[in-house]
Structure 1
Amino acid sequence: MTDADQARHDAVEAALGKLDLDTKARLLAGQDMWSLPAVPEIGLESLVMSDGPIGVRGVRWTADDPSIALPSPTALAAAWDPALARRAGRLLAQEARRKGVHVLLAPTVNLHRSPLGGRHFECYSEDPYLTGAIGSGYVKGVQDGGVGTTVKHFVGNDAETERFTVDSVIAPRPLRELYLAPFEAIVANAHPWGIMTAYNRVNGTTMTEHQYLVNDVLRGQWGFDGCNVSDWMAARSTTGDILGGLDVAMPGPQTVYGPPLAEAVRAGEVPESAVDEAVRNVLRLAARVGILEGAPAAVTGPPAEIDGQALAREIAARGFVLVRNEPVAGERRALPLDAAPGRTVALLGAAARDARVLGGGSATVFPERIVSPLDGLTAALPAGSLTFAVGADPSEELTPADKGFELRAICRNASGAVLGEGSLPTGQVQWIGDDLPAGASYETMASIEVTGTFVPRESGAHAFGTRGLGAFALAVGGETLWDGVQPMGDEADPFEAFFGAPSERGRVDLAEGEAVEVSLTFQVPDTTTLPLKAIMFSLLHLGPQRDADELIAEAVAAARAADTAVVVVATTERVESEGFDRQDLALPGRQDDLVRAVAAVNPNTVVVVNAGSPVELPWREEVAAVLLAWFPGQEGGAALADVLLGDAEPGGRLPTTWPARFADAPVTEVVPDGGRLEYREGLLIGYRAYEAHGIAPAFPFGHGLGYTDWAYESLEVTGTTARVRITNTGTRPGREVVQLYLAPVDTASDGAQSATVERPASWLAAFAGVEAGPGESVEAEIALPARAFEIWDEPAGRWQRIDGAYEVRASHAHGDTRLTATLEI
């Protein structure tokens, strides 16, 4: 223990000794949506928390306090670079300090068990080792800046359907070797100051009450000394939660802690020592972030200032994965684009203009700016060399009103008097906790009117609608389209209801350029008894839908006239978001038809896939190049221009396998049966399953081409250290990710590698990124961790090393082995 650690320990114990029972119980309950109460008598300031993984929203979920928006976590993981993740974390710590936030509710390290998972984009990988490595880098970076993290969602929250109540039934070995493994690695390598327990149950026990996984495993076996915070509204049992090791119940003030916890102690249901231990963990977190008087902060001087826009642009390019890049007409490869004077580009697809830069749900932030692909290429290409056509619009459902709308939200009391008002960037009202306009309060508000003008960009039938629960009145141009009540459905999850399906309420014929008044009035329900004080509803809009065949024909004409066609295809907010899972992996709308039609007239067709998780690409062998751009963050369009024009290399490697078709995915069912979701596939998720079942994916785990070529020249293994020598045989500098996979050698005859031990055919053991210029050679020295040779022995309750012979495979991707060697353990 260092002197600073001892000083923090002493300050925590001194502060704890001054607190009475009621104050201790109050300290464990959120005082509002995002913070814990201050306790001035011990010099404790209010501890403030905020989402999320790719930007720091702050305590207000509104556009008047913008946040940097980094690429999605899957995009960050695609760089296969823990050091880059650490830099991202440092930037987010910088943002957190600017917004007065002490703890970031991130990272999300659940696994890509199924591509259907609604928050797939918010997680890193299908592989536990890669997830743990990137998550460790991220946590280190955030905490380098003196800001805490809460690694989430511990554990088994790998899908959204019925997430509040589902029982994830996971056998001991998959639980340890897959789903707990990233958390364990991050605790060991990055020492996070917090963790977040999930809504769901695991093997029958709610995670906030799971004494075995929290008290015995997380704290006892792994030595975690941080603060355990509930997911929002996950805490449901005063006694069960405190005995299960939950330190903080969020949000407040209506929680199972506070007065109910003090009463449980007085009634003899809970020992006060359990409360003391939880308070100790909270005070230790407060000390680390520098808000407990007399305790030295863990970081006394923040890192140097970081250029957020530049780093966001770099991360995007580093995470882009070039999965296909073929020569055109036997000549140069499609990418990077030919920069010869006079060359023309047709940019096609609605997502090229209306960029999808982040996923939906609590990970959403409001960036100060968004650079679309159209913006990025317009700025980078010579004037007159770029044309644009929509081609096929995947947005077939209503979305929050935005383009052409100027809206305000007006809060009134029961007599109609205005309490407060503010501008809205879109028709989405998403006020949580203290996000309300100045002057408004939950206790006094009776109604909220979203009102303003709409200037249509095109003539025709415009659809208007609502999303949310409660009583609404919708009017356009003085005409009432709907006046009624949207009741609560079967969802136990209020976020699922809010992020769920929209409702069309009427259509109005409008003329291009002619302004019309729009109004949506929402009757505010009684929120005083709700555990979550929030107002969430939306005014929705969908413009006139032009004939899809006409749009595709216009795109084909543009593609035929251009040297290169760049088609941007994308998912929508109704496909990837918190609150629900996907139904399939198809691109929405007529986007597949668009790609095929364009490729038929222009052999130099490049497709950019703007999706946070795998989608089917049935035309992938009909186009010259395919670039996976994920949700690329606010600078995505600028990064795309860098990569397409060759100013930056697409540095990504796949962190998850892309199936050729939905039916090939290892797990295609995420809907619980009778409240239970059984992980029947055991250890076989991701690339492990494809190999076991002999199924060829569209693009394998670890795949990514970059802009240069590499020759793997030698592999030497000494003990458990591998040395791989490779040479850049291309004409450009580049970065290669050397991936080491282990495969057991069949030596059952001498007793080692017993056939009774079930293991995947191969698994990722370690990796390293190396850089070299044209013609240069470089050696990667990679240590194989002890855990790579172990399995969880449930009867013995410990990790067991499996001795014997292993083949070490130095690979460019899973299944693309370049060199092999054998080692004996």
Structure 2
Amino acid sequence: MSDWNIPDDRPEYDAAVEAAWAKMDLATKADLLAGIDMWRTLAVPAAGLRSMTVSDGPIGVRGRFWSVTDPSLALPSPTAQAASWDPVLVRRIGNLLAAESIRKDVDVLLAPTINLHRSPLGGRHFEAFSEDPYLTGRIAQAYVAGVQECGVGTTMKHYVANDAETDRLTVDNIIDERTLREMYLRPFEMVAASANPWGVMTAYNSVNGHTMTAHKELMQVLREEFGFDGFNVSDWVAARHTVEDIEAGLDLAMPGPFTVYGKDLVEAVREGRTSEAHVDDAVRRMLTLAARVGALEGVRAAVDDRIEAIENPEALLREIAQRSFVLAKNDPPADGEAAILPLDRDAIHRLALIGPAAAEARVLGGGSATVYPPYVVSPLDGLRGALGDRVVYAQGVDLHEQILPAKHGFELSVRPVKNDGTELPAEPLADGDVKWMSYLPGDMNIDDFHHAVLEGTFTVDVTGEHVLGIRGAGHHSFVFGDEVLFDGDRTVAGDDPFEALFGPGVETFTIYLEAGQRIPVRLQYTPLSYPHGFPPSVLFGLMHTGPRPDEDRLIAEAVETARSAELAVVVVSTTDLTESEGFDRCDLRLPGRQDELVAAVAAANPNTIVVVNTGSPVEMPWADDVAAILLTWFPGQEGGHALADVLLGAEPGGRLTTTWPKKLEDAPVVQVVPTDAGELHYDEGVFIGYRAWERHDTEPAFWFGHGLSYADWEYECLTVEDDQVKIRVRNSGRLAGREVVQVYLAPEAGVDIEGGIERHRLAGFQAIAAEPGETVEVVVPLDERSFQYWNEQDHAWRTVAGTWTVKAGRSVADLRLNGHIKRA
């Protein structure tokens, strides 16, 4: 990281912060810590402080407005970003996100997510980087450095152990000290020590009996031991305790203004329940953030030349996706000896492309990370762009598990209406969801708002029974054609305010329609109250699903399409109802009849390639029966182009950052549901991911670090000297390629430590590129922490003395060279 431009604070910051602080009274300081709406902080003109804006990441920058009128670039998911195993590429990702932040007037990006893949059932698995703390830390360092060197702040999140979604507002994660230090705190330590992050976000959950926003002990670890000096913001509505939170070091309780700070904090100080000194500490940290991002008058921002734009961002999005794809399997075709991939463009006369996700790309996970991209390139778009009408498409199955926001056939807009009946101009909608989160179009004041009108037309494309619905708490008046389908109030159950955003439509109406009909639609929505803990937000939606097709017929058509082609590419995927913020997964099966579809296509055409379009692991019962498996994660808006590139010869650069099980029951850690007491016990200790698989001697589908190349790699020699590992590798194949050289440490047998030491620990890696016949020498430095464990009796790191084996190879299960190193 020596060549990264980590911004330093300017010498004049301390004086400027003190001068601004001195111009604020207690009420102003308390309001500054409370926020003013969903995404912004208070402006204090008398102190020279402008409002600062924060925004959700991590795969794009949404900005203040969740609307198709304010589109955002959609990058590949964090699981994809980390699969590059390339901090240099991730730094460029950070630069791109910084440029997007500046374009959208965002000062702080609420990212990266550096929680771990503890269980494959975690609902936000796709938002985190890896099951390994060292890899997570290295990728997060690059992400933070790339964003902040361009003058935009970041927040490491979610501090700490926010690794599942079930009962996330109330769960108490019970974790021993060693496990916390070695696994879940380690990435935060790595980022804080090297990249100077300007922020951290404390999580919803509790750890060992204390909510994270009020966890004084763990905040002291972050600040006093790890050297973190940035601001601490709560996850949205996570702050619940005025006195405990301010005394633990929570600086900003969001969203504002109805938080535990503001007037509640003023009262706590005046009543003597807490000291104003705690308030002052938090205010100084907020003012330091303001100085760094250029929100404080009289001082220059930490970065003078803020990046305004990335040249040709579409090409970078395409490159990121290519570099993330993991080629998990690549066997010879039925009539050949060489591997089926890459495909010979000129030899293809007919390619069968199958699966609903091939035509309607799944590029994002569900939840607060969602953005509206300006366009999306589907696999069908990408392959037809490369091969033209040689690509023949068949849907295969239907994935509409539940009613979804109205989209296909609908042309919709929405407008707000004032109390006096004045209507503001309508804005277009990408689908039936309206998400006005603490703002209204035209900067309408919420006190002037009375109702919203969603209207447009529905052009029926399929004859049959259509299901329509609504969602959102409030009064709905729903008119379809000339018929009133619903006129009344509805409520939303549950404590999680995100239920109003992502919950299902519950009022449904089934109507028989003929193809070609053009029907006017009108939904008038009046909020009766607003989501608890959120600033006033208008959240409602029009839902729809078309007639369910005859899936037996769809599968039969797909089989015939595959049988008549030289090869078949089947794209399988999860849905928003499978992988999303707000809930964990119940299983690892692909939704619907996709497994049946793959099996049927593979039986009809042995030259079948399966593209797995998911953010996290899924079961693949057909894996032995297909020629190739390509894991594309959620690939972002350029995913279809990147897929065509890789299938036709561009190197798939990705390696797995988490171990993929064959079956859920094989996975060593699956528990994500708390006990009746609300506790979730991390009884597995440090043994998650590949550490746990090795301990249980269970064979997964694909090991951590796995990924095939279009090149052939020879590992020729390994030497260890002065805590550096030198590995010589050679591309012995016919094609240029990329390789990730991975270094693991293995202690000698019989280490006498309670709980034991892992069989292997990732200790370093380097991504390289080489032409055919080219040799590359890789130098990987070894960190002393890789030889240590956390001693709970001494509350300190201790080195494991003796001989350690140094291993290098292509994955934790494919280690080809050995060396040795001693520790005293």
Band of TM-score, shorter chain:
over 0.9
Offset at residue 724 of structure 1 (A): 0.6
Q: How far 1:268 moved relative to its partner?
A: 1.5
Give the Å deviation of 1:308.
1.5
Alignment partner, residue 356 of structure 1: 362
Task: Provide, for residues 138-176 of structure 1, a one-character-per-residue CA deviation record: whole Å limited to 9, x for no partner.
Answer: 000000110000110001111111111111111111111
Report the counterpart of residue 558 of structure 1 in structure 2. Answer: 561
- Please say if 1:476 is aligned against 2:474: no
Q: 2:206 aligned to 191, 194, 201, which one?
A: 201
Mapped pair 1:149 → 2:154: yes
2:627 counterpart of 1:624: yes
SS of the aligned residue for 2:597 comes to: helix
- Match of 1:659, SS state, is coil
For 2:763, what is the secondary structure of its paired residue? strand
Distance 1:634 1:756 in 2: 48
Query: In the alignment, is the contact (CA less than 8 A) between 2:468 and 2:508 conserved in 1?
Result: yes
How does 1:20-419 map onto structure 2 within 5 Å? 20-214=25-219, 216-303=220-307, 305-306=309-310, 307-329=312-334, 330-341=336-347, 343-381=349-387, 383-413=388-418, 418-419=423-424
Relative distance call for 1:755 and 1:422 in structure 2 (3 A) is closer
Contact 2:237 2:533 in 1 (8 A): no
Query: What is the rounded CA distance, in whole Å, between the counterparts of 1:717 and 1:594 in structure 2?
Result: 50
The alpha-carbon distance between structure 1 residues 699 and 443, as it changes in their structure 2 partners (threshold 3 A), is: same
The superposition leaves residues 724-754 of structure 1 with CA deviations (integer Å, 9 ceiling, x where unpaired) of 11110111111111111111112x5xxxx33
Return the offset for 1:476: 2.3
User: Which of residues 796, 799, 811 is equivalent to 2:797?
Assistant: 799
Counterpart of 1:663 in structure 2 is 665
Partners of 1:742 and 1:698 in 2: CA distance = 23
Deviations 1:185-226, CA, capped at 9 Å, x for gaps: 110121100000011111000111110001x20111111110
Stretch of structure 1 that moved more, 516-525 or 282-291:
516-525
Q: May I ask how many residue pairs the two structures share in their alignment? A: 815
Aligned to 1:610, which of 613, 619, 630?
A: 613
Give the CA deviation at 1:528: 9.8
Is residue 502 from structure 1 mapped to residue 505 from structure 2 by the alignment?
A: yes
Q: Identify the range of structure 1 (257-266 vs 99-108) with the bigger mean alpha-carbon deviation.
A: 257-266
Shift of 1:2: 10
CA distance in 1, matches of 2:548, 2:601: 21
- CA–CA distance in structure 1, aligned partners of residues 713 and 8 of structure 2: 49
Residue 755 of structure 1 deviates from its aligned partner by: 5.4
How far did residue 543 of structure 1 move? 1.1
Instruction: Report the alpha carbon displacement of residue 823 of structure 1 after superposing the two structures with TM.
Output: 1.1
Provide the C-alpha distance between the structure 2 equivalents of 1:3 and 1:626, rounded to a whole number of angstroms.
Answer: 45
Q: Distance in 1 between matches of 2:511 and 2:678?
A: 43
Residue 591, structure 1, aligned to residue 594, structure 2? yes
Deviates more, 1:754-763 or 1:82-91: 754-763
How big is the shift at 1:682? 1.1
Q: Which amino acid counterpart does residue 640 of structure 1 have in structure 2?
A: L
- In structure 2, the CA distance between the partners of 1:160 and 1:211, relative to structure 1 (3 Å rule), is same
Alpha-carbon distance, 1:705 to partner: 0.3
- State whether residues 356 and 399 of structure 2, in contact with CA within 8 Å, keep that contact through their aligned partners in structure 1: yes
Looking at structure 1, the residues matched to 446 and 763 of structure 2 have their Cα atoms a distance apart, in angstroms, of: 53
Distance 1:528 1:622, change over 3 A: closer
Match of 2:808 in 1: 810
State the distance in 2 between where 1:18 and 1:779 align.
Answer: 58
The residue number in structure 1 matching 2:3 is: none
Q: In structure 2, what is the equivalent of residue 641 of structure 1?
A: 644
Q: Give the TM-score normalised by the residue count of structure 2.
A: 0.96
Establish whether residue 467 from structure 1 lines up as the match of residue 471 from structure 2: yes
Is 1:724–2:727 an aligned residue pair?
yes
Contact 2:31 2:261 in 1 (8 A): yes
My pick for the range that moved more, 538-547 or 367-376, is: 538-547
Question: Which secondary structure state, in structure 2, belongs to the residue aligned with residue 655 of structure 1?
Answer: coil
Q: What is the CA-CA distance between 1:440 and the residue it aligns to?
A: 4.1
* CA distance in 2: counterparts of 1:37 and 1:414, whole angstroms: 27
- 1:7-40 Cα shifts (integer Å, max 9, x gaps): 1222112222232222221211101111111111
- SS at 1:805 equivalent: strand
Q: Distance in 2 between matches of 1:503 and 1:116?
A: 26
Unaligned runs of 5+ in 2: 1-5
Amino acid at match of 1:406: E
**How far apart are the structure 2 equivalents of 1:464 and 1:172?**
51
Mapping of residues 681-760 of structure 1, within 5 Å: 681-746=684-749, 748=750, 753-754=751-752, 756=754, 758-760=756-758
Which AA in structure 1 matches 2:129? Y
Q: Which amino acid aligns with 2:707?
A: G
Q: 1:741-791: CA deviations, max 9, x gaps?
A: 111112x5xxxx335562111121111112111011111100111111111
SS in 1 for 2:441: coil
Cα 1:511/1:3, change in 2 over 3 Å:
closer
Residues 201 and 235, structure 2, Cα contact 8 Å, conserved in 1:
yes
d(CA) in 2 for partners of 1:372, 1:226: 40
Deviation at 1:4, TM superposition (A): 5.4
> Aligned-pair distance for 1:419?
4.9
Structure 1: distance between partners of 2:7 and 2:60 = 32
Q: 1:95 to 1:338 in 2, by over 3 A?
A: same
